A and B are shown apart, each in its own frame.
Chain A
């Protein structure tokens, strides 16, 4: 770990101003990811702006009927929030599928968005990694890549975004509210995370020093038929090999609206609105789900260790959609 300076901010403006004074400053929230990375010398911020005292720890109702999740609400408090459970059960399920209770108690919603990949090479400074050290190469492509991406990869990086929460947020068309030195702005969730391309060191479209203040969830009808399927190597406390956030808005057995987002398969939560739309008005049948899954996976490429994910992801989509259908029956 390097040496760094530290300051606790008490409001958003102070936090944004504080971090501007340092070239390599980082916000620290729960610290569950940042501290590990610092201890491994993967991230070496010269300054930490502690944002835990900011007044961003509430979940409130928006005028449009949606919810606003403060950036500092913990993952646990978000998942167990009654309004979230009622209106966005998919989000609750996704969060609870992640990490462990201890971690969820510390982890914040803001931090979850910016957690970094779990690629082994990214974490080990003795190896080549374009994400950690641009231009050094990607060890995973010819290395141990069982946990790596199959969609949207580049020859520069095949890492995945490891979050579960983000997969549900992507499915639910969330928006991210940001404060920065140049004022406030709002990003569609789909525009938050990036594909690796030639700039794998950039995970997101947030600029250095920009602070996420909250996440907005639009009002929606995905309250009944939702399911978060996480396929992993043990029953808990493991990142997804493949995960699927599935939500259906049903009119009898006809699909009124549908959302399918995948985790563990790409550098960002993977969604195909075009594919989803082509199933609106169709019958919710295993056959249709299979077809949808096939299309979702078009363009998927394996790198040896992770090639199984292509077939697995298809099965997982079908299972998740069928379970989402069933969930409704039980209500």
Chain B
């Protein structure tokens, strides 16, 4: 069959709805009689609520109820009931459960009123008296209390060491060691979290912003003691989430609580300030030590990471494991510890762990290349890992060398002078840096349904979500291609628990997982049509072999005789069939999964210009070359990589949630002071997809592109800053004070 849609830059099928405003996000749903909830957040980090006086708020006309721990009852006592599908090990936070305050910003009350404004005003009239307890939120101060990261969170794998890294390090000729750190980050999608809950005829309907409708259904069913079948979660559009929507957020709990109690529809949204109160990318401190022989052969890798988590859950991510698979090395020592602090549990954020680990290991590689006086790209090639040494398995495919080659060529890497501070334009120091990125190519079990109607229209659905990545579009492409229909005749629907079960939208596995299910179910429909064609009298294929039938543009035709055709519509009419419906499940091939490692890769090249006097860093050029299997849609895929690179620039230079340890509170909780790049910060970004054939990873040969774009960027920029200035800033973000080395805490910088 000829390719019509897969691999083509099809424009977003939901683009028109989005730019015209007809695409409805969770806060856009309005129902008659709807009430509005406003959440009151704790002003202290730890302690007890001694009293909470809601009388003034309640006395306002139009305020219906103020929910607090004092009047919420009947919910499960055991915290296990609050565990969602993405919960780490531990005991999940229970909103309004008791008088305990466990983090600053914790929701402590919900005001429900006839209007949003009234609810907000009433919230300012609630008087809370606290009894404060001592708390601690500083990771570095608490490193002494670290403990081994426990297993149990889905997807987490314990790091595996090999050989004897200590001894190899001692004996090696060239070595480096350094401590790398980055601040906390919050996802801050444009769309704020919002939920509308409607309780009607003993059934609950919820419009929510989420990356997994089934996770919310599961959570709400368990917490409120409802049968799953009586809980319907709908989330057709999500205005960005980046991982923040993987776990049900507390406004969901609040809206449902109020709707069930008051028997009226209730909408509860978070404010931008409250977007800083439910999980973040954890502050992590990493120690890396590398050694090599004079010819640039890596002799040892030591990588240990200390990450913050809450006191009640063990949030884990894969940080150090990457060091064991990125390069060939016989002596690897890895360690990953957690430190419990008085804060909310971190939550997955785009390329969780890999972004963190890659910054450290890729900076360290650059530092060692500098010691060796070796080009950092040649150093990486010298230690290229042809197979996954951690698991002793081959990669299903790995075109990283092509990424290095094509990226370097586009960037002009060979013109780089090796010495730091050797390139300048007036008072601008110029630096070039490179870094590698790797990410898992997962596939999860997934179900999809297809319904082909007599008018030739195909409706495919699966309960996944589209957080802006382009899921709607690529699934439409896959369905149209698989069934040989015109793309206009295909509609893909998602984001509803009435649809077949899909995994959480995360980990870059959606394209592969949902894609396989969509392909599978369309193929089932195709088989049915073929069978119908050979069994229906008067069909041109009557009694023919189904193998000879091809599907294209809504037509069945004979592969050997082009004149023998019938349209899908005519065939169904002829057969007297009104519609064909199929549901099917697909999942990863367990044997392949055992035999191979599935990774996507990228090479990132960055150019920075640094103002010599003022320390201002600008990223003037980035080339990101990606090997991620088959690219379903180069347009949406490119957007994913662009977004990743922009976010990587943000992480490298700007972004940080600033925690005041006097208060245990993030202080720059608005988009004026929480910096992400503006248009002027972003210059040339070039995305290259290198050819990568992979028949093993999954039937479509795709690896996902949601996270791979961000992973190497911070490392490449940090390395470029060093190349420009000779100053190694190991603490992200690289702000101008750190570059100028006049920051107060300049223990994190070393200069040559």
Q: Which of B615, B668, B681 contacts A120 (CB 8 A)?
A: B668
Q: Given A120-B658, A315-B614, A144 and B667 touching (CB < 8 A)?
A: yes
| A41, A126, A304, A319: most-surrounded residue (chain B CB, <10 A) | A126
Q: Which of A1, A118, A235, A318 contacts B680 (CB 8 A)?
A: A235
Chain A residues with CB under 8 Å of B43's CB are 125-126
Q: Contact string, A134-147, partner B, CB cutoff 8 A, digits 1/0?
A: 00000100111010
CA distance A302 to B745 in the complex (A): 13
| B121, B613, B615, B669: most-surrounded residue (chain A CB, <10 A) | B613
A305 at the interface (CB under 8 A from B): yes
Establish whether residues A231 and B616, one from each chain, have CB atoms under 8 Å apart when the complex forms.
Answer: yes
A5 at the interface (CB under 8 A from B): no
Q: Contact string, A144-156, partner B, CB cutoff 8 A, digits 1/0?
A: 1010000000000
Establish whether residues A312 and B663, one from each chain, have CB atoms under 8 Å apart when the complex forms.
Answer: no
Establish whether residues B613 and A319, one from each chain, have CB atoms under 8 Å apart when the complex forms.
Answer: yes
Q: Given A144-B660, A144-B667, A307-B742, A319 and B614 touching (CB < 8 A)?
A: yes
Instruction: Please name the residue on chain B nearest to A229 by beta carbon.
Output: B614
Chain A residues with CB under 8 Å of B618's CB are 235
- Size of interface on A: residues with Cβ below 8 Å to B: 38
Q: Which of B117, B614, B678, B743 contacts A234 (CB 8 A)?
A: B678
Q: Contact string, A100-127, partner B, CB cutoff 8 A, digits 1/0?
A: 1000000000000000001011011111
Establish whether residues B672 and A118, one from each chain, have CB atoms under 8 Å apart when the complex forms.
Answer: yes
B560 at the interface (CB under 8 A from A): no
Establish whether residues A3 and B662, one from each chain, have CB atoms under 8 Å apart when the complex forms.
Answer: no
Interface residues of B in 372-404 (CB under 8 A from A): none
Establish whether residues B679 and A236, one from each chain, have CB atoms under 8 Å apart when the complex forms.
Answer: yes
Interface residues of B in 644-678 (CB under 8 A from A): 653-654, 658, 660, 662-663, 665, 667-670, 672-673, 675, 677-678
Q: Contact string, B95-110, partner A, CB cutoff 8 A, digits 1/0?
A: 0000000001000000
A167 at the interface (CB under 8 A from B): no
| A144, A236, A311, A319: most-surrounded residue (chain B CB, <10 A) | A144
B748 at the interface (CB under 8 A from A): no
Establish whether residues A139 and B120, one from each chain, have CB atoms under 8 Å apart when the complex forms.
Answer: no
Chain B residues with CB under 8 Å of A10's CB are none
A233 at the interface (CB under 8 A from B): yes
Establish whether residues A41 and B744, one from each chain, have CB atoms under 8 Å apart when the complex forms.
Answer: no
A308 at the interface (CB under 8 A from B): yes
Establish whether residues B665 and A126, one from each chain, have CB atoms under 8 Å apart when the complex forms.
Answer: yes
B201 at the interface (CB under 8 A from A): no
Chain A residues with CB under 8 Å of B170's CB are none
Q: Which of A2, A237, A304, A316 contacts B614 (CB 8 A)?
A: A316
Chain B residues with CB under 8 Å of A237's CB are 672, 678
Chain B residues with CB under 8 Å of A241's CB are 736
Interface residues of A in 276-322 (CB under 8 A from B): 302, 304-305, 307-308, 311-312, 315-316, 318-319
Q: Contact string, A1-23, partner B, CB cutoff 8 A, digits 1/0?
A: 11100000000000000000000
B740 at the interface (CB under 8 A from A): yes
Give the distance to chain A from B721, nearest Cβ to Cβ, in Å.
15
B737 at the interface (CB under 8 A from A): yes
Establish whether residues A308 and B667, one from each chain, have CB atoms under 8 Å apart when the complex forms.
Answer: no
Establish whether residues B737 and A308, one from each chain, have CB atoms under 8 Å apart when the complex forms.
Answer: yes
Chain B residues with CB under 8 Å of A126's CB are 43-44, 104, 663, 665
A82 at the interface (CB under 8 A from B): no
Residue pairs across A and B with CB atoms within 8 Å: the count is 96
Chain B residues with CB under 8 Å of A231's CB are 614, 616, 736
Establish whether residues B744 and A304, one from each chain, have CB atoms under 8 Å apart when the complex forms.
Answer: yes
Chain B residues with CB under 8 Å of A144's CB are 658, 660, 667-668
Instruction: Please name the residue on chain B nearest to A124 by beta carbon.
Output: B667
Q: Which of A2, A120, A316 contacts B121 (CB 8 A)?
A: A2
Chain A residues with CB under 8 Å of B667's CB are 120-121, 124, 127, 143-144
Give the distance to chain A from B613, nearest Cβ to Cβ, in Å.
5
Give the distance to chain B from A304, nearest Cβ to Cβ, in Å.
5
Chain B residues with CB under 8 Å of A234's CB are 653-654, 675, 677-678, 680-681
Give the distance to chain B from A38, nearest Cβ to Cβ, in Å.
11
A238 at the interface (CB under 8 A from B): yes
B735 at the interface (CB under 8 A from A): yes
| B43, B660, B680, B740: most-surrounded residue (chain A CB, <10 A) | B660
Establish whether residues A312 and B614, one from each chain, have CB atoms under 8 Å apart when the complex forms.
Answer: yes
Chain B residues with CB under 8 Å of A318's CB are 613
Q: Which of B662, B736, B744 contacts A305 (CB 8 A)?
A: B744
Q: Which of B669, B675, B742 contacts A311 (CB 8 A)?
A: B742
CA distance A289 to B673 in the complex (A): 32
Interface of A is mostly: loop
Establish whether residues A127 and B678, one from each chain, have CB atoms under 8 Å apart when the complex forms.
Answer: no
Give the distance to chain A from B117, nearest Cβ to Cβ, in Å.
7
Chain A residues with CB under 8 Å of B614's CB are 231, 312, 315-316, 319
CA distance A235 to B670 in the complex (A): 18
CA distance A139 to B104 in the complex (A): 16
Chain A residues with CB under 8 Å of B615's CB are 312
Interface of B is mostly: loop
Establish whether residues B742 and A308, one from each chain, have CB atoms under 8 Å apart when the complex forms.
Answer: yes
CA distance A234 to B653 in the complex (A): 9
Establish whether residues B654 and A312, one from each chain, have CB atoms under 8 Å apart when the complex forms.
Answer: no
Establish whether residues B654 and A142, one from each chain, have CB atoms under 8 Å apart when the complex forms.
Answer: no
CA distance A195 to B616 in the complex (A): 29
CA distance A319 to B737 in the complex (A): 17
Establish whether residues A1 and B675, one from each chain, have CB atoms under 8 Å apart when the complex forms.
Answer: no
Give the distance to chain A from B350, nearest Cβ to Cβ, in Å.
20
Interface residues of B in 722-749 (CB under 8 A from A): 735-737, 740, 742-744
Give the distance to chain A from B653, nearest Cβ to Cβ, in Å.
8
B124 at the interface (CB under 8 A from A): yes
Give the distance to chain B from A137, nearest Cβ to Cβ, in Å.
10
Chain B residues with CB under 8 Å of A311's CB are 740, 742
Establish whether residues A3 and B121, one from each chain, have CB atoms under 8 Å apart when the complex forms.
Answer: yes
Establish whether residues A143 and B660, one from each chain, have CB atoms under 8 Å apart when the complex forms.
Answer: yes
Chain B residues with CB under 8 Å of A236's CB are 678-681
CA distance A126 to B108 in the complex (A): 14
Interface residues of B in 337-395 (CB under 8 A from A): none
Establish whether residues A235 and B668, one from each chain, have CB atoms under 8 Å apart when the complex forms.
Answer: no
CA distance A312 to B273 in the complex (A): 31
Instruction: Please name the residue on chain A nearest to B117 by beta carbon.
Output: A1
Chain A residues with CB under 8 Å of B660's CB are 120, 127, 139, 143-144
Chain B residues with CB under 8 Å of A315's CB are 613-614
CA distance A307 to B742 in the complex (A): 8
CA distance A235 to B619 in the complex (A): 11
Q: Which of A146, A233, A304 contacts B654 (CB 8 A)?
A: A233
Establish whether residues B678 and A139, one from each chain, have CB atoms under 8 Å apart when the complex forms.
Answer: no
Establish whether residues A238 and B675, one from each chain, have CB atoms under 8 Å apart when the complex forms.
Answer: yes
CA distance A158 to B464 in the complex (A): 50
CA distance A144 to B666 in the complex (A): 10
Chain A residues with CB under 8 Å of B681's CB are 234-236
Establish whether residues B673 and A308, one from each chain, have CB atoms under 8 Å apart when the complex forms.
Answer: no
Instruction: Please name the residue on chain A nearest to B615 by beta carbon.
Output: A312
Establish whether residues B613 and A118, one from each chain, have CB atoms under 8 Å apart when the complex forms.
Answer: no
Instruction: Please name the residue on chain A nearest to B733 by beta carbon.
Output: A233
CA distance A302 to B665 in the complex (A): 23
Q: Given A120-B668, A307-B744, A308-B737, A2 and B124 touching (CB < 8 A)?
A: yes
CA distance A1 to B273 in the complex (A): 14
Establish whether residues A127 and B663, one from each chain, have CB atoms under 8 Å apart when the complex forms.
Answer: yes
8 more A-B residue pairs beyond the given contacts A3-B121, A126-B44, A234-B680, with a C-beta to C-beta distance below 8 A = A41-B124, A120-B658, A120-B668, A139-B660, A144-B668, A231-B614, A234-B678, A236-B681
Which positions in B face A, CB cutoff 8 Å?
Answer: 43-44, 104, 117, 120-121, 124, 273, 613-616, 618, 653-654, 658, 660, 662-663, 665, 667-670, 672-673, 675, 677-681, 735-737, 740, 742-744
Q: List 24 A-B contacts (CB under 8 A).
A: A1-B124, A40-B273, A118-B673, A120-B660, A126-B663, A127-B665, A142-B662, A143-B660, A143-B662, A144-B667, A144-B668, A234-B653, A234-B675, A235-B680, A236-B679, A236-B680, A236-B681, A241-B736, A305-B744, A307-B743, A308-B737, A311-B740, A315-B614, A319-B613
Pick the 3 closest A-B CB pairs, nearest first: A126-B43, A235-B680, A308-B737
